[in-house]
């Protein structure tokens, strides 16, 4: 009988997993199941150029759609279909139609959804940004002069604030406990980014949170923790994410923050042993940081689905034929973001640094070119650079690679 691998989630992680399964020599069935109606598409432009100018929904999708690699043949897709439950011991999943499907192998790639602000008040007028439909709906609301409250100053909050300001909106950014992208960038670069936002008219409110929304049917204002009230027409809630793990409940393993995996991306059972035939990829996977010898964590960057699929797919194929996983280099995380046309690139694990050192330029002027190194002890564990040519980014990537032992798992 033909063996089947089910890939749960049809975004970048699901697509890359399917491609890597074929690359690893899997000749059996591959069935990718995804809740969204759309084939896999690229999310980063949703808070940048596509939010600014999406065109029609069809044009936006055409711009964003991934083209599967030619080598990835014979992949079946079931879109617009949610997986509601699973029994990993019996190797079955259940779909929202009630249908049950068997599998030999399973790839968990159901990613994240936006967290919501837990403040009382009307629901209407509050947006999030994860899907193409979210971006199209938010774009419709962003007219010149519209008063926009962006809550949360991580990547998506800062990017949406910058895009809304470039569309002529009056933007207030409610930063929360940390400054703009402070966790990945560190304090010095974060204040440089705040200056960039402020110079383009974004009103950055530091160290405050939203305690309530004002309005009857739709949000017309936000009450902040310092007692101030900001009048708004549109809210963007960008306060982090939750992992889509509900369909895995009942299998007796840890789902507190995504899905815990070993270094080969094999999902771990409650006793810490790999569950046979189950791997995870992308934003949902919590895996050990072997480069820095640190405990498992999730890495929510665009490169992660591809990096993890390259490890998980061969491990799954090997496991299904009774073989141990082959050695593979541990992924080196990387990210980028764009704020008013200034590209900020990060490589390594800046968020885990004990100390930062400026390598070139001035952190107060990120748009003019700057690079900051992130250290644990004397070891360089990451670099963030902004406003520099691509060749400098490659140089810093190499520095980080050279600084850490190339860990093989
Ligand atoms: C607006 C935005 C901007 C970004 N910008 C950048 C950037 O500039 N740089 C960068 O490095 N990264 C960026 N990222 C992050 C990057 O896009 C993600 O890391 C990447 O999309 C993760 O892919 P994934 O496949 O793991 O998860 P997801 O993209 O979350 O995909 C998971 C898929 O699974 C589906 N699903 C969930 N539950 C079920 C279920 N029960 N049954 C079936 N299907 C299900 C979901 O509908 C979804 O389609 C951005 C993300 C967003 C949202």
Question: What is the structure's pLDDT at 409?
Answer: 45
| Element containing residue 182 per DSSP (H, E) | helix 182-185
The DSSP line for 16-43 is: HHHHHHHHTT--SEEEEE-SSSSPPB--
- 105 DSSP β-pair partners: 5
Cα 286 vs. chain centroid, distance in angstroms? 13
Copy the structure tokens of residue 50: 């596509």
> 145 C-alpha vs ligand 1 centroid, how far in Å?
31
| Ligand 1: nearest atom to the Cα of 110 | 34
What value does the CA radius of gyration of the chain take, rounded to a whole number of Å? Answer: 22
Copy the structure tokens of residue 55: 């065109």
CB 159 within 8 A of CB 338: yes
pTM for this entry: 0.95
Q: Kindly report, residue by residue over 293-351, the tens digit of the pLDDT.
A: 888 999 999 999 999 999 999 999 999 999 999 988 888 899 999 999 999 999 998 98
Q: Is the CB of 277 under 6 A from ligand 1?
A: no
> 109 C-alpha vs ligand 1 centroid, how far in Å?
9
What is the C-alpha separation between 11 and 320, in angstroms, rounded?
24
- What is the 8-class DSSP label of residue 360? E
CB burial string 384-408: b at 16+ within 10 A, e below:
bbbbbeeebbeebbebbeebbeebe
Cα 194 vs. chain centroid, distance in angstroms? 22
> 64 C-alpha vs ligand 1 centroid, how far in Å?
13
What is the C-alpha separation between 292 and 376, in angstroms, rounded?
9
The DSSP line for 130-165 is: SSHHHHHHHHHH--TT-EEEEE--SHHHHHHHHHHH
Question: What is the structure's pLDDT at 405?
Answer: 52
Mutate-to-test residue for ligand 1 from 155, 181, 286, highest number of ligand atoms within 8 A of CB: 155
Sign, Cα dihedral of 11, 13, 19, 21: negative
> 280 C-alpha vs ligand 1 centroid, how far in Å?
14
Q: Kindly report, residue by residue over 162-208, the tens digit of the pLDDT.
A: 999 999 999 999 999 899 999 888 888 999 999 999 999 999 999 99
Cα 72 vs. chain centroid, distance in angstroms? 24
Residues of the chain scoring pLDDT < 70: 405-409
Question: What is the structure's pLDDT at 188?
Answer: 84
């Amino acid at each position: 009988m033909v063996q089947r691998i089910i890939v749960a989630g049809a975004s970048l992680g699901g697509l890359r997993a399917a491609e890597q399964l074929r690359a690893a020599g899997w000749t059996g069935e591959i069935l990718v199941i995804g809740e969204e109606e759309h084939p896999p598409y690229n999310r980063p432009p949703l808070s940048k150029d596509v939010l600014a100018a999406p065109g029609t929904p069809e044009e936006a999708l055409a711009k964003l759609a991934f083209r599967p690699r030619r080598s990835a043949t014979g992949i079946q897709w079931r879109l617009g279909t949610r997986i509601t439950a699973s029994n990993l011991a019996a190797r079955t999943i259940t779909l929202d139609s009630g249908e049950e499907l068997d599998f030999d192998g399973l790839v968990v790639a159901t990613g994240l959804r936006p967290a919501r602000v837990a403040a009382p008040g009307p629901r209407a007028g509050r947006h999030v940004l994860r899907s193409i439909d979210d971006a199209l709906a938010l774009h419709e609301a962003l007219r010149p002069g519209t008063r926009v409250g962006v809550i949360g100053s991580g990547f998506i909050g800062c990017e949406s604030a910058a895009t809304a300001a470039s569309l002529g909106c009056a933007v207030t950014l409610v930063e929360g406990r940390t400054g703009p992208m402070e966790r990945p960038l560190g304090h010095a670069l974060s204040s440089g980014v705040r200056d960039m936002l402020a110079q383009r008219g974004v009103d950055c409110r530091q160290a405050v949170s939203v305690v309530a929304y004002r309005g009857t049917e739709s949000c017309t204002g936000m009450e902040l923790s310092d007692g101030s009230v900001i009048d708004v027409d549109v809210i963007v809630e960008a306060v982090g994410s939750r992992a889509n793990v509900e369909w895995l409940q009942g299998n007796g393993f840890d789902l507190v923050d995504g899905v815990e995996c070993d270094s080969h991306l094999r999902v771990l059972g409650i006793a810490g042993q790999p569950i046979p035939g189950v791997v995870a990829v992308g934003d949902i996977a919590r895996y050990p940081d072997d480069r820095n010898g640190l405990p498992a964590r999730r890495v929510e960057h665009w490169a992660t689905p591809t990096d993890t699929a390259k490890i998980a797919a061969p491990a799954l194929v090997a496991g299904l034929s009774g073989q141990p996983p082959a050695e593979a280099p541990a992924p080196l995380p990387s990210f980028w973001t764009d704020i008013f046309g200034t590209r900020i690139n990060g490589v390594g694990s800046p968020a885990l640094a004990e100390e930062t050192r400026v390598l070139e330029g001035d952190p107060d002027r990120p748009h003019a070119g700057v690079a900051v190194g992130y250290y644990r002890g004397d070891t360089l564990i990451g670099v963030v650079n902004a406003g520099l040519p691509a060749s400098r980014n490659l140089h810093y990537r190499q520095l980080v690679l050279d600084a850490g032992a190339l860990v093989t798992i």
